[in-house]
Chains A and B, each alone.
Chain A
């Protein structure tokens, strides 16, 4: 059983996905050099011809390619988890990049302690590029100043994390239902994993480089006034119980 599955998902990125693939392979190489067994997987969701072509020689780089047809990022990730039995899973979008130390350092933090089945690793920094050049330092849940009530108002984390496979199996991403006003399946996943007792940690000195383009799913979701699906974490009754416990 592999230690980590490094999974790249793509749809219509075309040749640009090659940059992300190269970034993934660099991170896989660093992790393998540190003794980890890493499996590289590419999952294409209704790919354009150009995107499919971008991975025509992926097997020569040691990666397995699978195709699905969901048009739903959450379902794609759920399916991808079903294709691996690795202990930890890390996702990369087809237009983003990892810092090359991501897999090795995140695995060390997540799998290195007694609570190895309950830690979800996030990069220290999301470095946005292209249409937006902002820097977002992700919060660590164990920071004494961290207030989980923030989760009701905003999603402080990102689906491009490294997590135990069980987190994805026990808490699959909810399907998108934009027509019904529901999206932000990654935010909902954060709510559900937090409720289940997973601890969201930050991996020091790691970076995810995230391309911000017009029309990205995040930008579209914001424009549509959609919400996360209901969650116990949005429910004041849960907070009253938490207050009583604290």
Chain B
């Protein structure tokens, strides 16, 4: 990311006193917004008299994305501090050219305003111009929002109290499934439960992707990708492409049917799998190994239970030198398994991604290091890997699980019965749970032999199972 700390507009050595915005007149709970002050000198000359409108403060606050702003000014502490980010922006970031909003792009706004006959003077700040003029004129200041597309998908908004972009800024960008362009949610993430409170829409993840390669004050990976996609799409309007489509449609008229809904993607510029790919690569590059004998998948953040500890010790006792890779899926703190192990955390790099994409990340890792065996213990994602892809993975590695911990619940039994047929062995966190499973499922002798309690493992039963497993796999 290019620093903007040293960059200032020419002729701005003297900073005039800011304008204090007055009380909110329309009854919104905007106490924080009404305390904001905007620099009068950067407002359009004919708007300075309107500078005390609380609407401007509300708009500024609604548009702010602190994590995006913090990345530009090199102040990580502002990422979760909306008020702090706005204050910093008004104090210095605005004059340094930083963007407080991922949904405002200065060059795009200037161009679109110009096309509307709204020329900006050199000394007018484009963002303040947008807040005071462009918003009222409904000039969409970013390629990341296509008003016609958005209203087409959500026609109820067309008759709402606010224009489509305002609705998207206030609520839509935090809602799952509210794609603002035909390029879909290509920023890879899903809204966190508190995304709206923190004003951290998932599109910020796309804005910050490969941030070092872009000058975030005027562009980003996400904006460049959508811009490229728009240009690509526009080529469909060429005579040549229209003719090719028409000729095919002359054979099959369905080709020319008006789409009910049309999504457009173009890797590597705009595609839902680009950010998952980047995360998978981040994990791979940070791993430090390319092979592991045993991969243990745990949630992280809690100590290993007696079953997991016994299982790992049992594997270790079969012979030294095997590499163990411990994967945490829900929290980065790795449990002490009592053996030398390499750890890798998936919870942080895959934060904000859908469950399906997190699963793809785990799958990429597991297949990538080609382990002799995979052991899942307590990780919901790990169990999902076994239930979704166990049929395939059992041809590539031995599959095993540690079950229990706390009081076994319905989910534990669901995991067990959904995966047991594909597992070479299961170790329970207590001997009582082992007995419960045997009785509950009326396990025959051969199946009972694959279900071990901690005492069985201590007695060497796991070694015999694993020896047979390795003999089978050669």
Contacts and interface: CB of A to CB of B under 8 A. Distances in A.
Contacts of B156: none
A236 B273 contact: no
A137 B389 CA distance: 29
B244 A235 contact: no
Interface string A12-25: 00000001001100
A33 interface: no
Interface string B239-253: 011001101100110
Nearest to A238: B290
Interface in A193-228: 205-207, 209, 211, 225-227
A147 B274 CA distance: 9
A99 B392 contact: no
Contacts of B254: 129-130, 211
B260 A133 contact: yes
A98 B369 CA distance: 40
A153 interface: yes
Contacts of A237: 290-291, 370
A225 to B, nearest CB: 5
B7 interface: no
B312 to A, nearest CB: 22
Contacts of A101: 244
Interface in B341-373: 360, 363-364, 367-370
Interface in A177-202: 180-182
A129 B392 contact: no
A235 B392 CA distance: 16
B277 A150 contact: yes
A180 B285 contact: no
B368 A146 contact: no
A78 to B, nearest CB: 22
B339 interface: no
Interface residues of A, number: 48
B392 A209 contact: no
Interface stretch (B94-102, B112-120, B262-270): B262-270
Contacts of A1: none
B290 A153 contact: no
A137 B262 contact: no
Contacts of B271: 156
Question: What is the predominant secondary structure among interface residues of chain B facing chain A?
Answer: helix
B241 A207 contact: yes
A114 to B, nearest CB: 26
A154 B273 contact: yes
Interface residues of B, number: 54
B167 interface: no
Most chain B CB neighbours (cut-off 10 Å) among A149, A182, A206:
A149
B251 A19 contact: yes
B271 to A, nearest CB: 8
Contact of A152 (B233, B261, B277, B389): B277
Interface in B221-252: 229, 232-233, 236, 238, 240-241, 244-245, 247-248, 251-252
Contacts of A146: 267-268
B280 interface: yes
B263 A19 contact: no
A72 to B, nearest CB: 17
A129 B260 CA distance: 11
B396 interface: yes
A239 B284 contact: yes
A135 B263 contact: yes
The list of the 6 closest CB pairs from A to B, nearest first, reads A181-B392, A133-B259, A137-B266, A236-B368, A181-B391, A236-B290
24 contacts: A23-B252, A26-B247, A99-B248, A127-B255, A129-B252, A133-B259, A133-B261, A134-B262, A136-B265, A137-B232, A149-B281, A150-B267, A152-B277, A152-B280, A152-B368, A156-B271, A181-B392, A182-B395, A207-B244, A209-B252, A209-B255, A225-B391, A235-B290, A236-B287
